[in-house]
């Protein structure tokens, strides 16, 4: 059996992000991904059984980076609000520095590729943050609503504002990003 090269694996994942951004999930082919990565399609199959496995691996690659940024920044906070503030700013910066991560993450999570098993995997990885949010609800700091509502009002604005920044229609100064956080906090905080 041929040995796997980590740089090739990363090249496949990054090529997948580029190809899906341009052609969508159904329009992306293994051959085009391999060409974009600079290797033969046969080599790609040494790493991934099929296109489905490659698309999922690319999502895990992206979501692990997003979750790591979210959890590590959150854990540096001294209070729930401060942790969420740090989280908000870190995710905003990640979105600006790696917009392909946000595009792929958003596309995948809103597609038929997202399964309850993948969702559960990501929730387990993000458990320090999710547990703190649940604790905040129990302590009356955050509105006692289902997490999808909290996610929509606290975290989804980041995606939108990053996109607007990249398009040039929003100036992401520190003050504006902080204002965005405060508006998101106001939406989820218990009055």
Query: Which CATH number characterizes residue 61's domain?
Result: 1.10.357.10
Contact in structure between 37 and 45 (CB atoms under 8 Å)? no
Task: Give the model confidence (pLDDT) of 75-85 as tens digits.
Answer: 998 999 999 99
Q: Look at residue 4 and tell me whether its pLDDT is greater than 70.
A: no
Domain boundary among 48, 64, 83: 48
pLDDT of residue 3: 57
pLDDT of residue 36: 94
Domain boundary among 14, 29, 48: 48
Average confidence (pLDDT) over 11-36: 95
Give the separation between CA 51 and CA 76, rounded to whole angstroms.
38
- Structural domain range at position 172: 56-188
Q: Look at residue 123 and tell me whether its pLDDT is greater than 50.
A: yes
Burial tier of 110 (Cβ tally within 10 Å: 0-12, 13-18, 19+): exposed
CATH number of the domain that residue 10 is part of = 1.10.10.60
Q: Are residues 90 and 162 in the same domain?
A: yes
Q: Is the dihedral of CA 156, 158, 159, 163 positive or negative?
A: positive
Supply the mean pLDDT for the chain: 94
Residue 69 pLDDT level (bands cut at 50, 70, 90): very high
Q: Are residues 122 and 174 in the same domain?
A: yes
Contact in structure between 105 and 114 (CB atoms under 8 Å)? no
Q: Residue 126: which residues within 8 A CB-CB, separation 6 or more?
A: 67, 70, 71
Q: Are residues 117 and 151 in the same domain?
A: yes
């Amino acid at each position: 059996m041929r040995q796997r090269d980590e740089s090739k694996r990363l090249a496949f994942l990054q090529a997948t992000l580029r190809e899906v951004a341009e052609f969508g999930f159904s329009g992306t082919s293994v051959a085009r991904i391999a060409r974009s990565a600079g290797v033969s399609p046969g080599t790609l199959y040494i790493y991934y059984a099929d296109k489905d496995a490659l698309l999922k691996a690319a999502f895990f690659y992206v979501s692990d980076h997003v979750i790591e940024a979210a959890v590590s920044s959150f854990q540096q906070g001294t209070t729930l609000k401060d942790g969420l503030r740090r989280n908000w700013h870190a995710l905003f910066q990640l979105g600006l520095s790696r917009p392909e991560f946000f595009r792929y993450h958003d596309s995948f999570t809103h597609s038929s590729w997202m399964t309850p098993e993948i969702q559960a995997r990501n929730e387990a990885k993000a458990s320090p943050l999710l547990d703190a949010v649940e604790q905040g609800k129990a302590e009356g700091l955050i509105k006692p609503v289902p997490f999808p509502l909290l996610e929509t009002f606290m975290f989804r604005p980041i995606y939108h504002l990053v996109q607007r920044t990249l398009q040039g229609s929003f100036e992401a100064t520190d003050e504006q990003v902080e204002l965005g956080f405060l508006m998101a906090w106001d939406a989820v905080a218990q009055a």
